[in-house]
Amino acid sequence: MTKTAWIFPGQGSQATGMGVDLQSLPIAQTKFEQAERILGWSVLDLCQTELEKLSRTLYTQPCLYVVEAILADLMLERGHQPDLVAGHSLGEYVALYAARVFDFEAGLSLVKRRAELMDSASQGVMAALMGFDRAQLEALIDQIDGVVLANDNDLNQVVISGTSEAVEAVLSRIKAKRIVPLKVSGAFHSPLMEEAAAEFQQILEAVPFKFAKVPVLSNVEPKPAIEANVLKARLIQQMTGSVRWREISVQLAQEKVERVVEVGPGKVLTGLMKRAAPGVALSNISGFNDLPA
């Protein structure tokens, strides 16, 4: 049997029209109806609106969770099973759902509140860097207070997060092929999210977690785990902790994973995997036509 991992993308992978091709399927209809009751608005409608609105954190995160969860359920319904799961930032919630750590509605309720808290964050900024000297960047982050490595995607692609002054200080001193300021409301995955994270922790701790049916690699600790208390503790740290995706990619290769399936819109994560673990077979399940028989 081929050892397979399912990986779930996060904010940034959203696309207008995602999930629309699933709406006639019974599983999807049920999930879209459940989501509307929880959210108070239609995921299908939002996914067909202009990208600017869909890309607002308040809407992006619940929409991605719902669409990716439906795709995961359809995969499971067709008899496909992962050996491990992982998700990038918001995608970790879908990974936990796919591993049956919590049910769909509990997960969406968490994602809804997470999105609200992150959307209302007003401190700090984020910027993506591609093609840079890693040692120089790490030295600058060590020297400058108020900035952290928020997303360690691969050796040549990262996101930094922090106060506007600290981020600008790093960007003014680093040489990079490309620098992209991110259109986000605050400094996600940094200490500036501590107030929001503290409020979210109270909500998270009240939600019962089950042992995972398959091991989950978490953003803040990219080692496989199934224990409910461990997975919850890792998720509590996620809002202020770094997304260690580069290490997740390496760990999947070390776990002898032979095939990685990105479940969700786009090919961001398989693109990163291609560079980090070139010998692994990659595929994408972005919509109905990608579903295996």
Q: What is the pLDDT of residue 147?
A: 98
C-alpha dist (Å) from residue 247 to 50, 77, 190, 217:
34, 30, 18, 10
Average per-residue pLDDT in the chain? 96
Task: Quote the pLDDT of residue 279.
Answer: 85
Q: What confidence score (pLDDT) does residue 191 get?
A: 96
Question: Residue 275: its pLDDT value, please?
Answer: 84
CATH 3.30.70.250 placement within the chain? 125-181
In which band, very low, low, confident or very high, does the pLDDT at 148 lie, cut at 50, 70 and 90?
A: very high
**pLDDT band per the 50, 70, 90 thresholds, residue 121:** confident
Distances (CA, A) of 274 to 89, 100, 253, 278: 19, 28, 11, 5
**What residue spans in the chain does CATH classification 3.40.366.10 cover?**
4-120+190-290
Distance CA 133, CA 97 (A): 37
- What pLDDT score does 132 carry? 96
Helix (H) or strand (E) holding 13: none
> With pLDDT > 90 as the criterion, what percentage of the chain qualifies?
94
Q: What is the pLDDT of residue 128?
A: 96
- List, for residues 75-117, the tens digit of each pLDDT value: 999 999 999 999 999 999 999 999 999 999 999 999 999 999 9
Say whether domain 125-181 belongs to CATH 1.10.357.10.
Answer: no
**Averaged pLDDT, 17-39:** 97
- pLDDT (mean) for 157-176: 97
Of 166, 112, 121, 165, nearest to 140 (Cα)?
Answer: 166
Q: What is the mean pLDDT of residues 16-28?
A: 97
pLDDT at 287 over 90: yes
The C-alpha atoms of residue 147 and residue 149 are separated, in whole angstroms, by 7
Which active-site residues does the annotation give? 89, 189
134 and 102 Cβ atoms separated by less than 8 Å: no
Answer yes or no: pTM beyond 0.85.
Answer: yes
SS3 121: coil
Residue-level pLDDT at 183: 87
Question: What's the one-letter identity of residue 68?
Answer: E
Topology of domain 4-120+190-290, CATH = Malonyl-Coenzyme A Acyl Carrier Protein; domain 2 (3.40.366)
